[in-house]
Amino acid sequence: MIIKAILFDINGTLIDINTDEGNEEIYRGISHILTYHGIFMHRWEVRDEYYRIMDVQRKTSREKYPEFNVVDVFREFLNRRVSAPGTIPPGKLEWLPVFLADAYRGISRNRLQLYPGVLDVMNDLRPRYKLAAISDAQSAWCLPEMRAVGIDGYFAPIIVSGDFGYRKPDPRLFTAALTALRVAPENALFVGNDMFRDVYAAKRLGIKTVFFSSNQGGKQAEGVTPDYIIYQFPELRQAVEFFERQ
């Protein structure tokens, strides 16, 4: 097999992240921020409105695997709550949804770190292969988190589902990455930690798959078998060698 590109999932594959969206401090913090912009809501009102808007985004989508956009959620949130035109200046309405999305993620996050060996493996692979990332995520969160752990410069493109309105296993996310790379599916590997969203999705396009059995992600999907399994990230080196011998 001639490998020209290796595609990666991000969270649960490269980044070991843990968040708690049930943490009431998220909604308390956002409630406090909103008071400085003339919006007065109890933390549970903030929580309920946030999930209500997100639910509408998904239910009104025509996609089989719909994805929300967190910045758009907070933009709609503010539009619903601003009592009169001019209450919040237009310039502030542009950046405030992004700021609220940042606050939401920052307060909810408990852990953000690379899995052991990720940087060493990336440094080995980067001179030899094109590297890209495909993530079910939000750009407002994913890109800063990649910068924080030092891997943002390794991948081009970085495909984030929140920018498209649909998520894995939709094959269009993979096709977008392959098109940008100018690489055919048979010359690519995909590395992910979820048997359905990652392995099933990639195999549908004829991409060879490496399943990373990390501490996150679905371990089984009916009728789905990865081409190679690793249990520690540095084992990816052996996986790549295995495919190159095929």
Q: Are 245 and 227 in contact (CB under 8 A)?
A: no
Answer yes or no: is pLDDT of 42 > 70: yes
Mean pLDDT is lowest, of 62-71, 72-81, 127-136, for 72-81
Fold of 5-18+113-244: Rossmann fold (3.40.50)
Percentage of residues of the chain with pLDDT beyond 90: 87
Mean pLDDT of 74-80: 91
pTM reported for the whole predicted model: 0.91
Q: What per-residue confidence (pLDDT) applies to 221? A: 86
Tokens 């996609």 appear where? 63
Q: What per-residue confidence (pLDDT) applies to 222? A: 87
Q: Which tokens in the block code for residue 4?
A: 């020209």
Q: Where on the phi/psi map is residue 112: left (φ > 0), alpha (ψ -120 to 50), or beta?
A: beta
What are the extents of the domains in the chain?
5-18+113-244, 19-110
Query: ω before 171 within 30° of 0 (cis)?
Result: no
Helix axes 139-149, 70-81, angle to 10 degrees: 130
Helices (H), the chain: 24-35, 43-59, 70-81, 90-108, 118-125, 139-149, 171-181, 201-204, 236-244
**Could you tell me which of 74, 89, 90 has the C-alpha nearest to residue 26?**
74
The rounded distance, in Å, linking the Cα atoms of 111 and 17 is: 5
CA-CA distances (angstroms) from residue 155 to 41, 135, 146, 197, 216? 41, 12, 10, 20, 22
Q: Are 88 and 81 in contact (CB under 8 A)?
A: no
The three-point CA angle 160-166-170 to 5° equals 95
Phi, psi for residue 45 in degrees, rounded to 5 = -65, -40
Q: For 3-15, what is each residue's pLDDT tens digit? A: 999 999 999 999 9
For residue 86, the tally of other CB atoms under 10 A from its CB is: 7
Answer yes or no: is pLDDT of 114 > 90: yes
Mean pLDDT of 62-89: 86
Q: What per-residue confidence (pLDDT) applies to 90? A: 72
Q: Which tokens in the block code for residue 52?
A: 């209500």
The rounded distance, in Å, linking the Cα atoms of 59 and 62 is: 8
- β-pair partners for 5: 130, 188
Per-residue confidence band for 84, with pLDDT thresholds at 50, 70 and 90: low
- Mean pLDDT of all residues in the chain? 94
- β-pair partners for 114: 15
Q: For 163-192, what is each residue's pLDDT tens digit? A: 999 999 999 999 999 999 999 999 999 999
Q: What per-residue confidence (pLDDT) applies to 167? A: 96
Q: What per-residue confidence (pLDDT) applies to 89? A: 73
